[in-house]
């Protein structure tokens, strides 16, 4: 039993060291603030040095209204909020629909989207502004505002 625990501890330590060694180096001003983890997106540096990420957006269904988000606040279809996998809660991003040029500013308050082909889920209010309602998804660019 003791040998098993020592082995598991050594294996966990080795795995941690590998993950630390493989983590990306700190970004310079010429690199994006973060990189999207979805295979269907790209992240490039904008002229201001802020994050620019492109991929597909979707929006929350009405059935999530009133439920708690990952940040602890209640989701409202009327608020201009969004879910992102890695951005800190409270980050403000500008989302631009690349099909029609419409833009909206949203605040990150949840984690998602859970489909790897998407980079952001926006609230119903934001989806209406972007022209997503009825279509379900659209190609977007997201830029971190703060």
Question: Is 24 contained in some domain?
Answer: no
Task: Name the residue range of residue 119's domain.
Answer: 32-144
According to the model, what pLDDT value does residue 63 have? 83
- Say which CATH number the domain at 128 has: 2.40.40.10
Question: Is 6 contained in some domain?
Answer: no
Question: Is 123 contained in some domain?
Answer: yes
Give 22-43 pLDDT, tens digit per residue. Answer: 444 333 333 333 333 444 455 5
Question: Is 105 contained in some domain?
Answer: yes
The model's pTM: 0.68
- Domains in the chain: how many in total? 1
Give 41-86 pLDDT, tens digit per residue. Answer: 555 455 454 778 999 999 987 888 999 999 999 999 999 999 999 9
Question: Is 15 contained in some domain?
Answer: no
Question: Is 25 contained in some domain?
Answer: no
Tokens of 55: 């991929």
**Residues making up the chain, counted from first to last:** 146
User: How do strand 118-122 and strand 51-59 relate by DSSP bridges?
Assistant: parallel
Tokens of 53: 């990420």
Which residues, at least 6 apart from 30, have a Cβ–Cβ distance to it below 8 Å? 45, 49
According to the model, what pLDDT value does residue 43 have? 56
Question: Is 46 contained in some domain?
Answer: yes
Question: Is 19 contained in some domain?
Answer: no
């Amino acid at each position: 039993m003791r040998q098993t625990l020592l082995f598991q501890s050594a294996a966990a330590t080795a795995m941690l060291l590998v993950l630390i060694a493989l983590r990306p180096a700190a970004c310079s001003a010429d690199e994006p603030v973060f990189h999207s983890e979805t295979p269907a997106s790209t992240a490039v540096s904008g002229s201001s040095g802020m994050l620019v990420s492109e991929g597909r957006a979707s929006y929350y269904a009405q059935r999530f209204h009133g439920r708690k988000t990952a940040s602890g606040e209640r989701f409202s279809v009327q608020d201009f909020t969004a879910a992102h996998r890695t951005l800190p809660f409270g980050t403000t991003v500008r989302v631009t629909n690349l099909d029609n040029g419409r833009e909206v500013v949203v605040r990150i308050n949840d984690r998602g989207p859970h489909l790897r082909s998407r980079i952001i889920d926006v609230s119903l209010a934001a989806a209406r502004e972007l022209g997503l309602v009825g279509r379900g998804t659209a190609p977007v660019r997201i830029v971190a505002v703060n």
